[in-house]
Amino acid sequence: DVAVTGVQTCALPIFLTFRSMRYGLLCLLLALSGCTKDKGGGQWLYQREKWKSMGISSYSFSFKRYCFCTPEGVGPFQIVVLQGKIVTVNGQPYESGGALLVPTIDQLFEFVDQYLDRRPYSSRVIYNSRYGFPEDVYIDFNKDLADEETGFQVSEFYALR
């Protein structure tokens, strides 16, 4: 697992293996881009590309929010995604646009991107070592405010065939 703390970094891990030409090109681009403070020194982009390269569009997972919200909004939620669309939540058919808002893995990447672009006071992003998706995220936007922290946890991920 890889943790992103928001500190400046420009070193690429030596243990990276190049399973495909796509990974090699991505690592070369990251190395040539120099040091960045954005999204943990390129880990967000690397992990997003890792997820996309898997080509997984049907999967199930458990999702739980970290937030100051009602218990109904926290979860955990058992989510089933087929061909990129959520079809069931907790065994019930899911209607997008309804009262219950739950994400796909692609939407979790978008959330992390938006959260880190806001330059929070403190952040922790842990990516799944096998698939690359964000599996444990905690963001504290302001050290002086209580209850504005947010995040989520993904567990029990299974790719479906």
Q: Average pLDDT, stretch 37-60?
A: 83
4 pLDDT higher than 70: no
Give the model's pLDDT for residue 97.
Answer: 73
Rounded to the nearest 5°, which phi and psi values hold at 124?
Answer: -140, 125
* Out of 17-26, 50-59, 142-151, 152-161, least confident range: 17-26
Give the model's pLDDT for residue 24.
Answer: 46
- Say if residues 128 and 148 touch (Cβ distance below 8 Å): no
Quick one: 142 exposed, middle or buried, by C-beta within 10 A (0-12, 13-18, 19+)?
Answer: exposed
Give me the percent of the chain exceeding a pLDDT of 70.
69
The answer to whether the Cα torsion of 58, 64, 66, 68 is positive or negative is positive
Reduce the DSSP state of residue 118 to 3 states and report it.
coil
Flag whether the pTM goes above 0.85: no
Report the 10 Å Cβ neighbour count for 60: 16
* Out of 14-18, 68-72, 125-129, 136-140, least confident range: 14-18
91 pLDDT higher than 70: yes
Nearest CA-CA partner of 101 in 124, 70, 126, 123 = 70
CA angle, 55 as apex, 115 and 160 as ends, to 5°? 100
Mean per-residue pLDDT over the chain, rounded: 75
Reduce the DSSP state of residue 128 to 3 states and report it.
coil
Give the model's pLDDT for residue 43.
Answer: 82
Over the stretch 111-157, which tens digit does the pLDDT of each residue have? Answer: 888 887 878 777 788 999 999 999 998 887 777 666 667 788 999 99
* Out of 52-61, 88-97, 113-122, least confident range: 113-122
Please, what is the end-to-end C-alpha distance for the chain in angstroms? Answer: 25
- Let me know how long the chain is: 161
Calculate the CA 80 to chain-centre distance: 17
Give the model's pLDDT for residue 69.
Answer: 76
